[in-house]
Amino acid sequence: MTFDHPAVSWPDLVSAVADDCLAVLLKGADEDWSRRAGGLDWTCRQTLDHLALGLIGYAGLLIARPRDRYITLFASLDPHASVPACLEGLGIAASLLSGTVRDTAADVRAWHPWGHSDAAGFAAMGVVELAVHTYDITRALGLSWTPPGEPGTAALARLFPDAPAGHDPFATLLWCTGRIPLPGMPRRAEWQWYGSAA
């Protein structure tokens, strides 16, 4: 299933979410980033590195277009850099993904362990990664944050076609990724998105 509404500009959605995430994370730059991020086993700093790695990886998959494996390029943030400098690196990673999505033809497919995907799918993965991991980090740092609604709605439609209806899109995204319960629905112990494209 794909979310192919003409009003959706996936490169713009990636950029919008990244800008929003970077703005709130910068507010917590002086906090203790060695704390565990939300319910993850990673620290806030490690989660930031995971985010950069993921966004670069999605761009790389769209460029290399492997059929059965991950790419061999692994990007990481300088472990000795300040948090603001690392956030700059995350912004670069998001820009690379956004630009790659913009320049990738609609018929291109690349491997992902959760389904061979198209540019829209990898953009949606980037949106989900940015939104849920910023949520994880802001929880640990004591920052209140909710991402913009349109990207979350589009990412749900593209990657979680069976998501329950009638709830706030961000709350639904957090439920789909095992972070919170929804009314009448316990927190998910296991989850996976639907990355495959037709």
pLDDT tens figures, 86-115? 999 999 999 999 999 999 999 999 999 998
pLDDT at 163 over 90: yes
Domain-embedded: residue 192: no
Position 177 in a domain: no
Which domain range does residue 108 map to?
Answer: 10-147
Contact in structure between 54 and 128 (CB atoms under 8 Å): no
List the CATH number of the domain containing 109.
1.20.120.450
- 73 falls within a domain: yes
Confidence class for position 7, pLDDT limits 50, 70, 90:
low
Within-domain flag for 125: yes
pLDDT band with cut points at 50, 70 and 90 for residue 142: very high
Q: State the DSSP H helix or E strand holding residue 93, giving kind and residue range, or none if neither.
A: helix 83-103
For range 24-46, the mean pLDDT: 96
Domain count, the chain: 1
User: Residue 185 falls within a domain, yes or no?
Assistant: no
**Predicted local confidence at residue 4, as pLDDT:** 44
Contact 104, 147 (CB under 8 A): no
Rounded Cα gap, residues 80 and 85, in angstroms? 10
pLDDT at 5: 46
Burial of residue 178, with CB atoms counted within 10 A of its CB: 0-12 exposed, 13-18 middle, 19 or more buried: middle
